[in-house]
Amino acid sequence: MLKKAAGFTLIELIVTMVILAIVAAVAVPGFGNLIEGNRLVSGTNLVTSSIKFARAEAIKRGASVTFSTEGDLATGWCVHTGDATGDCANNQIRGFEPPRGLIFTETESDLVFDRRGFLVPQVTQELTIYPEDCTSGDGSFRRIRVSPIGRTEIDDDGVCP
């Protein structure tokens, strides 16, 4: 009696490779969107937690604390003691590096929190975050709103400009 050889035939191997290639071709573009979405969410969370940290430090210290962008969020930001006239070099509590691949816009460059955790001046501030390759009409857009009493809110219903 002949013993059957174990393994795959060449045709079985080719069919399997074709199926894997088709699945990969369908899945790879989806992974790019997933990675971009995760980058946007993590960048938004980093900015939001930094703002909340500044507010908490102001309340804890009983003094003014500033979330300062030193001109632009894309170059990084810091939380320092004092008002907007202070600087990150001398009064820094904590510094933050910006995530790559994101564009930031803000209404004010510094957010100053008083000893009660309220914004000074008490006016709602907004920051927007979206990916560098955001196309017009795309839904990959986040807006962080800081209320006059210092609460943060994230809206994700915006569209790219």
99-137 tens-digit pLDDT: 888 888 876 778 899 999 999 988 999 888 888 877 666
Number of Cα atoms under 13 Å in the Cβ half of residue 129: 26
- CA-based Rg of the chain, rounded to a whole angstrom? 24
The domain spans of the chain are: 10-155
Q: What is the pLDDT of residues 74-103, one digit of tens each?
A: 888 899 998 777 677 788 899 888 888 888
Helix residue ranges per DSSP H, the chain: 10-61, 88-91
Please answer whether residues 96 and 50 qualify as being in contact, where contact means their C-beta atoms are separated by less than 8 angstroms.
yes
Q: Spelled out in words, what is the top-level CATH class assigned to the domain 10-155?
A: alpha beta
pTM for the model stands at: 0.79
